[in-house]
Amino acid sequence: MTEAAHASHDQQATHHHDHAGHHHDHHAGHGGSGLGSMAASATLHCLTGCAIGEILGLVVGTAVGLGNGQTIALSIALAFVFGYTLSSLPLLRGDLTLGVALRLVLAADTVSILTMEVVDNIVMAVISGAMNAGLVNAVFWVGMSISLVAAFAAAYPVNRYLLARGKGHALAHEHHSGTGTVNVTGARRLIPVLPTGALAAALAAFILGGLVVSVADGLSVPAAPAHAATSTG
């Protein structure tokens, strides 16, 4: 092999080594606090969609008079629907088609959502009266709050484990980073951007509002008819 060929071969090997090192450093950069922050964000994102679906399912189930089993099944189904939907929006706003986005979301979020749903329903079942409590009942909203916190605590280490191995939410993360307004064109600009923090704050406010209304309803006592005492005299 000539000296020029040796130089070319060494240059290619060096380029390949640098590229591999950059790829490794990119994933290693997610370690420590960066990995924890990403896992927390991914968990909160899934939790928000799950909570929206669960509450909506309970509202619909109660309104149409479904049984407990049917209401729970509806709530779980809607939790998956809303969880997948919230994860799909930034992908669709970027450069992915609906089919590709759905496949990516199914691979990225299914384990996280499933973990949340299992833990959430177990906690709600353990809390006495939470499953059968109506929407205007403080027990329901307290139970829902506790179950969501437990679901987050259970799903966070799962998401952290998957992210550290390039799985779970990591599959969609690189597409999220390219969904800024500069790269968005055409009808994709109409797809809303829903920050996880804003969604979580709105959800917390909704749950707090439900709790306040429930407590106020429980404290309200029907006033005794005043004319009943005055008419007998």
Residue 104 counted as domain residue: yes
Question: Confidence class of residue 5 from pLDDT cuts 50, 70 and 90?
Answer: very low
Q: Which domain holds residue 174?
A: 33-180+193-216
pLDDT for res 79: 94
Instruction: Point out the least confidently predicted range of 25-39, 112-126, 179-193, 218-232.
Output: 218-232
pLDDT for res 177: 45
Residue 221 counted as domain residue: no
Residue 19 counted as domain residue: no
Please state the domain count of the chain: 1
> Is pLDDT larger for residue 61 or for residue 20?
61
Question: Confidence class of residue 184 from pLDDT cuts 50, 70 and 90?
Answer: low
DSSP 24-53: HHHHHTTSTHHHHHHHHHHHHHHHHHHHHH
Say whether pLDDT at 189 is over 70: yes
Tell me the residue type at 151: A
Tokens of 97: 């088609």
What is the rounded CA–CA span in Å between residue 81 and residue 54? 10
Residue 12 counted as domain residue: no
pLDDT for res 114: 94
Say whether pLDDT at 222 is over 50: yes
Give which of 169, 161, 149 is closest to 41, Cα–Cα: 169
Residue 16 counted as domain residue: no
At 151, is the secondary structure helix, strand, or coil? helix
Question: Confidence class of residue 157 from pLDDT cuts 50, 70 and 90?
Answer: very high
Taking only the tens place, the pLDDT of each residue in 40-69 is: 888 988 899 999 998 898 888 888 888 888
Taking only the tens place, the pLDDT of each residue in 98-146 is: 898 899 899 889 999 999 999 998 998 898 888 777 788 899 899 999 9
Residue 152 counted as domain residue: yes
Instruction: Point out the least confidently predicted range of 66-70, 103-107, 197-201, 227-231.
Output: 227-231
Residue 56 counted as domain residue: yes
Say whether pLDDT at 82 is over 90: yes
Residue 39 counted as domain residue: yes
- Which residues are CB-contacts of 230 (< 8 A; sequence separation ≥ 6)? none
By the 10 Å C-beta count (0-12 exposed, 13-18 middle, 19+ buried), 109 is classed as: buried
**CB distance 171 to 107 below 8 Å:** yes
pLDDT for res 129: 84
Cα 229 from chain centre:
56
pLDDT for res 186: 75
- Which residues are CB-contacts of 104 (< 8 A; sequence separation ≥ 6)? 91, 96, 171, 172, 175
Tell me the residue type at 84: Y
